[in-house]
């Protein structure tokens, strides 16, 4: 049991450390810590194939993870802590189990996708269902992932800011690895650590194969939210899907949708009682009725998690309801439209229709790329880092240093205006401030 520290100190240190959700969204963690909750849930599902970060961190940093969770429970007043992991993360479970205090338990998740979608994780681990377009807090739950809570532990105990990032480099690379590097290191540098690509036509994803973002510039910096660098052949079906232009997506939907409903029958959000019916949204687009924003069915596109099941697994004729939803979401958000539908009954088949990971991996042709990517320790610092001022949801941080200043690793280099959503930024290497513009601060070693 942790004593002698107040929720106010925890909240302040988490905010000062610049912690954001390390799983990809980049939501400032202090905002979650400033709320009141009943359950604090650690999302350790890591259900995207090929990603191997949280499952290894949970094992190697078990004590920090539990402490981070305890600090989260103190800050939010949560009486119960749950660490949700898959049974296959056996060593992590064995390491954590003897360390658990009475108010924290491990929940074993089914090995399905998308068990890591926090709405689905909450349902699986607590039985509570988050209504569509609502936050987990609406059902009394706060969720953080493993790496985020380890960062919390360091921040509260040592006032250590977030300056490093652990990520997996996997797929068609010589030596798949999971490694921790200073934020601002380039993708090119971590690809070299993994021995480089093994194919002549590599395509690069930042994040998992289902929800990661295709990018082309290996000299982009690794951020607080980067989860992985995946290398796939550029003619892989997941890459072809991402490069398909929108006109072609719409044309495909119009010409070949047979309204078989499989996309809806396998949509995880729909299964747990959200309205979201992808087949009806496709139909609305096909009949040019997607601008009827008074229609709840069409507006429910706003509640799509973009998990990709409808596109990559369900649809037998290669239509992408998800891409249509993405386009509709952008349009509705620009118009300020909101979805207000209520939670419906749970589909009695929900538990049985969640997609086994093994089946997903085979269907999307990832068997040959799903390597273990063991965690390695390196004693290395880049000679230069580029640190984006916006690595989180909110406003960019404002530089508090000038070109030519000498800074040390961990020093504050950009801060937030009081009252604005966002987190401060710290130097990830020691060196001289080489450049500052509206988007980045560049530090180079002397």
Binding residues for ligand SF4 (CB under 6 A): 257-263, 267, 269, 276, 278-279, 282, 304-310, 314-315, 317, 319, 321-322, 325
Query: Minimum distance from CB of 261 to ligand SF4 (Å)?
Result: 5
Task: Considering the complex, state which of residue 163 and residue 211 has its C-beta at the smaller distance from ligand SF4.
Answer: 211
| Bridge partners of residue 173, in order along the sequence | 197
Task: Considering the complex, state which of residue 92 and residue 282 has its C-beta at the smaller distance from ligand SF4.
Answer: 282
Task: Considering the complex, state which of residue 142 and residue 309 has its C-beta at the smaller distance from ligand SF4.
Answer: 309
> Pseudo-torsion of CA 227, 231, 237, 241, nearest 10°?
50
Task: Considering the complex, state which of residue 37 and residue 310 has its C-beta at the smaller distance from ligand SF4.
Answer: 310
Q: Map tokens 């490694």 to a residue.
A: 179
Task: Considering the complex, state which of residue 46 and residue 64 has its C-beta at the smaller distance from ligand SF4.
Answer: 46
Cβ–Cβ < 8 Å for 207, 178: no
Residue 231 in tokens? 């290398």
Cβ–Cβ < 8 Å for 181, 164: yes
Q: Which residues contact 297 (CB under 8 A, 6 or more apart)?
A: 275, 277, 280, 281, 284
Query: Minimum distance from CB of 290 to ligand SF4 (Å)?
Result: 14
Cβ–Cβ < 8 Å for 297, 284: yes
Query: Minimum distance from CB of 257 to ligand SF4 (Å)?
Result: 4
Task: Considering the complex, state which of residue 222 and residue 267 has its C-beta at the smaller distance from ligand SF4.
Answer: 267
Query: Minimum distance from CB of 251 to ligand SF4 (Å)?
Result: 13
Q: Which residues contact 428 (CB under 8 A, 6 or more apart)?
A: 163, 164, 182, 183, 184, 185, 385, 387, 409, 443
Query: Minimum distance from CB of 283 to ligand SF4 (Å)?
Result: 8
Q: CA–CA separation, 248 vs 279, rounded Å?
A: 18
Query: Minimum distance from CB of 246 to ligand SF4 (Å)?
Result: 15
């Amino acid at each position: 049991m942790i004593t002698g520290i107040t929720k106010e100190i925890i909240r302040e240190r988490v905010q000062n450390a610049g912690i954001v959700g390390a799983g990809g969204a980049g939501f400032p963690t202090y905002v979650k810590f400033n709320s009141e909750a009943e359950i604090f849930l650690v999302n350790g599902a890591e259900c995207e194939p090929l990603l191997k970060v949280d499952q290894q961190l949970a094992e190697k940093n078990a004590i920090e993870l539990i402490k981070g969770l305890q600090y989260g429970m103190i800050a939010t007043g949560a009486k119960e802590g749950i660490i949700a992991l898959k049974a296959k993360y056996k060593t992590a479970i064995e390491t954590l189990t003897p360390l658990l205090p009475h108010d924290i338990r491990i929940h074993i998740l089914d090995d399905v996708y998308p068990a890591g979608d926090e709405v689905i994780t909450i349902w699986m681990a607590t039985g509570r269902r988050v209504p569509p377009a609502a936050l987990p807090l609406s059902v009394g739950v706060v969720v953080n992932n493993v790496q985020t809570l380890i960062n919390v532990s360091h921040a509260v105990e040592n006032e250590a800011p977030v300056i490093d990032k652990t990520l997996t480099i996997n797929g068609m690379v010589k030596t798949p690895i999971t490694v921790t590097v200073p934020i601002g290191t380039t993708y090119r540098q971590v690809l070299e650590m993994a021995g480089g690509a093994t194919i002549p036509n590599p395509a690069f994803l930042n994040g998992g194969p289902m929800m990661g973002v295709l990018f082309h510039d290996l000299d982009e910096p690794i951020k607080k939210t980067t989860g992985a660098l995946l290398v796939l052949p550029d003619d892989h079906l997941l890459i072809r899907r991402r490069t398909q232009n929108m006109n072609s997506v719409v044309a495909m939907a119009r010409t070949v949708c047979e309204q078989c409903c499989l996309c809806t029958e396998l949509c995880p959000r729909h299964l747990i009682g959200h309205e979201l019916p992808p087949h009806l949204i496709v139909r609305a687009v096909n009949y040019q009725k997607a601008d009827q924003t008074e229609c709840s069915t069409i507006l429910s596109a706003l509640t799509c998690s973009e998990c990709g099941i409808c596109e990559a697994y369900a649809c037998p004729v290669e239509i992408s309801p998800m891409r249509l939803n993405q386009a509709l979401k952008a349009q509705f958000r620009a118009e300020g439209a909101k979805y207000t539908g209520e939670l419906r009954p749970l589909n009695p088949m929900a538990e049985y229709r969640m997609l086994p990971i093994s089946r997903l991996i085979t269907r999307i042709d990832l068997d040959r790329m799903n390597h273990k990517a063991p965690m390695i320790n390196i004693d290395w610092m880049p000679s230069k880092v580029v640190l984006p001022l916006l690595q989180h949801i909110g406003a960019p941080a404002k530089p508090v240093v000038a070109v030519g200043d000498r800074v040390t690793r961990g020093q504050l280099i950009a801060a937030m205006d009081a009252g604005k959503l966002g987190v401060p930024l710290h130097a990830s290497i020691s060196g001289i401030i080489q450049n500052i513009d509206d988007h980045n601060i560049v530090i180079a070693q002397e």
